């Protein structure tokens, strides 16, 4: 099905390219699309496919003269249609599922490795807690247990700003110990 879609878009491009002002408008649409894909964060290798989708959608909704109007008049209905087609295509492309080629064993191994690294990091930190102030020790323990700064502040009956400052100081102290 995708092959037919690309073929239709390719034929439409060839047909419009043979025409004068429509061909120039098409080149302008392609440049406009390229800028849009860059701003949408779509990968470079996907830009041509996205542009073909937009052109195919546009040709279903507007004719060659409409394509010229889309590029020459910023406030035209045709320009709005072009922008909608670009937006729809960008959103579809951003939402599409990415294919991952990992076996279940590779995924499990990666999870185990991350789990071991986290456990080792936690153990290293806990061994050095005695080098921190009492307040910093409590804050770091809460952070290791997954509590947020506001939750820790509430538990310690202090401000979130004070907790954040002491957490930062504790992290800096632990970093200096590590280096």
pLDDT at 101: 62
Query: Is the domain of 24 the same as that of 61?
Result: yes
What range defines the domain where residue 131 resides?
104-178
- The C-alpha torsion from 19 through 23 and 24 to 25, rounded to 10°, is 110
Q: Which of 66, 95, 124 is the last residue of a domain?
A: 95
Find the radius of gyration of the CA atoms of the chain: 28
Q: Looking at the structure, do residues 17 and 75 belong to the same domain, yes or no?
A: yes
What's residue 89's pLDDT? 92
Q: Do 36 and 116 belong to one domain? A: no
Task: Verify that 90 and 146 share a domain, yes or no.
Answer: no
Task: Specify whether 15 is located in the same domain as 85.
Answer: yes
Q: Are residues 91 and 7 in the same domain?
A: yes
How does pLDDT run along the chain (179 residues), one tens digit per residue? 444 445 545 555 555 454 457 778 888 889 999 999 999 888 888 899 999 999 888 888 888 778 888 888 888 898 999 999 999 999 998 888 666 666 677 777 777 888 888 889 889 999 999 999 999 999 999 998 889 999 999 999 999 999 999 999 999 999 998 88
Same domain, 40 and 70: yes
The residue out of 95, 124, 142 marking a domain boundary is: 95
Q: What pLDDT is attached to residue 15?
A: 53
pTM: predicted TM-score of the whole model, two decimal places: 0.46
Same domain, 9 and 82: yes
53 and 83: one domain? yes
Instruction: Specify whether 35 is located in the same domain as 85.
Output: yes
Phi-psi region of 41 (alpha: psi -120 to 50; beta: other; left: phi over 0): left
DSSP of 75-142: TSHHHHHHHHHHHHHHHHHHHSPPP----HHHHHHHHHHHHHHHHHHHHHHHHTGGGS-HHHHHHHHH
Res 1: pLDDT: 42
Domain check: are 89 and 108 in the same one? no
| Residue 81 and residue 113 in one domain | no
State the pLDDT at residue 21. Answer: 72
């Amino acid at each position: 099905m995708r092959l037919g879609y690309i073929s239709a878009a390719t034929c439409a491009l060839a047909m419009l390219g043979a025409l004068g002002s429509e061909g120039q408008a098409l080149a302008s649409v392609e440049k406009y699309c390229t800028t849009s894909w860059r701003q949408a964060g779509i990968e470079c290798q996907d830009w041509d496919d996205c542009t073909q989708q937009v052109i195919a959608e546009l040709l279903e909704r507007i004719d060659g003269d409409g394509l010229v109007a889309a590029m020459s008049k910023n406030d035209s209905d045709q320009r709005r249609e072009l922008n909608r087609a670009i937006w729809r295509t960008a959103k579809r492309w951003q939402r599409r599922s990415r294919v991952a080629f990992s076996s279940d064993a590779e995924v499990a191994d990666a999870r185990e490795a991350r789990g071991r690294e986290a456990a080792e990091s936690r153990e290293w930190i806990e061994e050095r807690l005695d080098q921190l102030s009492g307040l910093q020790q409590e804050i770091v323990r809460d952070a290791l247990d997954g509590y947020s700064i506001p939750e820790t502040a509430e538990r310690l009956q202090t401000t979130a700003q004070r907790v954040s400052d002491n957490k930062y100081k504790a992290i800096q102290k632990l970093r200096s110990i590590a280096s």
